[in-house]
Structure 1
Amino acid sequence: MHSKIVIVGGGAGGLELACKLGRKLGPGQVMLVDSRLYHIWKPSLHEVAAGTLDIHQEGLSYQMLAHDNGFTYVYGALTALDAPGKQLTVAAIATAEHEEVLPERRIGYESLVLAIGSTSNYFGVPGAEEHTISLNATEDAERFRLTLLKLLTKAALKKGAPDAGQDGVDIVIIGGGATGVELAAELREASGVYAAYGFGQLEPMKDVRITLLEGAPRILAPLPERVSAAALKLLQERAIKVVTGTRVTAIGAAQVTAGEGGQPDQLYPADIVVWAAGIKAPALLSTLGLPTAKGGQLEVDGTLAVKGHGNIYALGDCALCLGADGKAVPPRAQAAHQQADYLAQTFLRQARGKPPQSAPYVYKDYGSLVSFGQTSSVGSLMGSLKGLSWFVDGFVARLMYVSLHLMHHQAVLGTVRTGVLALARFLIKRSTPLVKLH
């Protein structure tokens, strides 16, 4: 197989780039490689984990997207790269019974874009990898949801039994960034819905105990203090225990150990633990023979080209891109979206025989929004003047948050289909449970 432009990774940035190029250049010139069959917008994984979003309704088939947007899709994981030979290797695909469906394949390219995202960074905490769930992909979110359903069922059956001890479910979320905060809020909202759908014995506020642990002095530390304070207030109103300035030192099968320097360790009971305390580059990147930074990301220049490799580019979480201030571009969906737009122009100019873009990629921070369930959000919006921002919350902020998801859909589906899809999901929610129960 061969394609003029090969994009590895169908996350927000990689998929948007494939769609924009495919619509202009066609399947003979644009190829997307991904290890999964369907796409989920990663910022919505906390909703999948809580059960308020059904991946079987939300997921977008890469094969469908390839057909509709004019690119070629290859199913499989990148395993090796021959940069001098301009060739990459994609792993074989097999069933659960080890029956090979697709063989190992080699793909030639003229230009390569790596957009394989990130994975969890456990910082060497004992037991973290073995005893926690990280929301890196849809299968992680589904594993959390099914585990939670099992725990709720057991807790409901034990409720009121003489030997039950402390009834209910203990959920510990490690990391007070956007993922941890959004998951905590979504779980609190979902717990009430679960109680209404067959778990009536449980009192959500009392029996579904949610604890959020954060090492920094406040949650949502990168965001303005007013946003952090508003988020803390909303979590506390939802009976979510928030502990800041604490460091997790060990995680076991049934508890989390954490504490401050010089203070006795605290033990937090945990039936299920979510790790949302940090990310790092996938280990695969260090095996490709490309320059990587201390954190494992690929080092790129101002045009998003991997240093020393003019025909290989990287975007999103897997790329270390430095801004004009010397700081790394943050690993956010809006950064991947902007980088996809920049690279789309790079490749379209090449295809039309025009000179390269004269201006380097510059990250523009438009602010951040954090979801607090299906009816409320909180965040800050950045103005066109440096340092100017507006605090937003409540229903208006929620509408803005939802619009971000719709903007991503519009980029890969088009305006009309995004509108139809949004209407269809609105109607489906009126005829199905508010949470996924199976």
Structure 2
Amino acid sequence: MTTTESSAPTGRLTLGQGTAMYVGAVLGTGVIALPALAAEAAGPASLVAWLALVALSVPLAATFAALGARHPDAGGVSTYARLAFGERAAAVVGWCFYFAVPPGAAAAALFGGAYVEAAVGGGTAAVLGTAVALMAVVTAANTVGLHVSGRFQLGLAALLVTLLLVSVGLSLPEARWDNLTPFAPHGWAAVGSAASLLVWSFAGWEAITHLAAEFRRPGRDLPRATGSAVALVGLLYLLVAFATIAVLGTGAADTEAPLGELMARGMGGGSRWLAAAAALLLTLGAMNAYYAAGAKLGAALGRDGAFPKVLARGSVAGEVPRRSLLANSTMSFLALGIVAVAGLGTGPLVQLTAGSFVTVYAVGVAAAIRLLPRRSPGRTAALIAFGAVAVLLLMSGPYLIWPLMVTGAALAYLSLRRRATATPLPGPPERRPYDRSHR
């Protein structure tokens, strides 16, 4: 299947729903947990890492918006890799994204569960019970279809943005400049460690490309949704990160629920219930966007032969990829079960997921450099983003082992399929001339 540039109505997502999907995918659980983890790694200097990742988001988001508007397809980055580099690259990047969703979903659900436990108690049972409930709700929402899921996401986004602004605004009178010194207690090299953690917080700019064909007017609405989401997400992340450091001080590194602590400072201890509600909204938003994107991707991979054909149903805009959704949801529950039995924390899950998404970014940006026309804004953004993603790859270090293992599995599957069908794998499809009407 060859994708083509299109700005004609193909799906049902509106501009507002698409923006909400972006906000949910990128803002997500990072804002409820990562400020504390980053503060533990680098102290107040973690603010530099936050600022750097916000700056990186601009060219990165612009790159994927340009690709999504030009090639709206459920395969997302996998489709771009196929157009640019061929079937093997498409399978690798598709597998890396698809198999990053289960550990990421497990970590996200546990983040939400930790906030509920902080409000109501109950220990590990409350955390795991909440995580299971979150996974079940998001699976059910996506089983109904993207139209319902998009409206669900729009409501979530409005509520969570309001809660974040209220919590930060009420806590800022407690801010102390003394909490910003010493600024780099662990040295400036620790900023890199914090940045590798924060990749989790900014993963998501690529996720909505899998839903590009679901927009009513992808050529127009996808770039607009991207711009709105970049501005909103960047502002909220910086506000929450600054408040976490300036208000909580050294205590920021000692809490698993920094947003709850901020609300408690501004509104009293009873606000932990409100913090739990905000955490649940954020978690639902992120998981909803990734379940939707992952399900669409799995169907597209089945359609293109990189996954079993049984998963292919649902790759067409407007269809619900229930088989792919069920497979990804089952693996997410399995990942949660492994974490519960082994007693692992969320840290390794975050790093493994982040390593996978950095790999997806690297291939996606490289594809953009090849696919987008010279001197276009999208290609310029891709060239800028490529250098930054290369640095993130270096900082990911040993956590690239997981995407490397997934890469090996993807190539092995393609080899077995080729032997079974006795047909050669196709090369990159011929690229069509650039249509200037979609710039």
TM-score by length of 2: 0.31
Larger proportion of helix: 2
Q: Is the radius of gyration larger for structure 1 or structure 2?
A: 1
Q: Using CA pairs below 8 Å that are at least 6 residues apart, which structure has the higher relative contact order?
A: 2
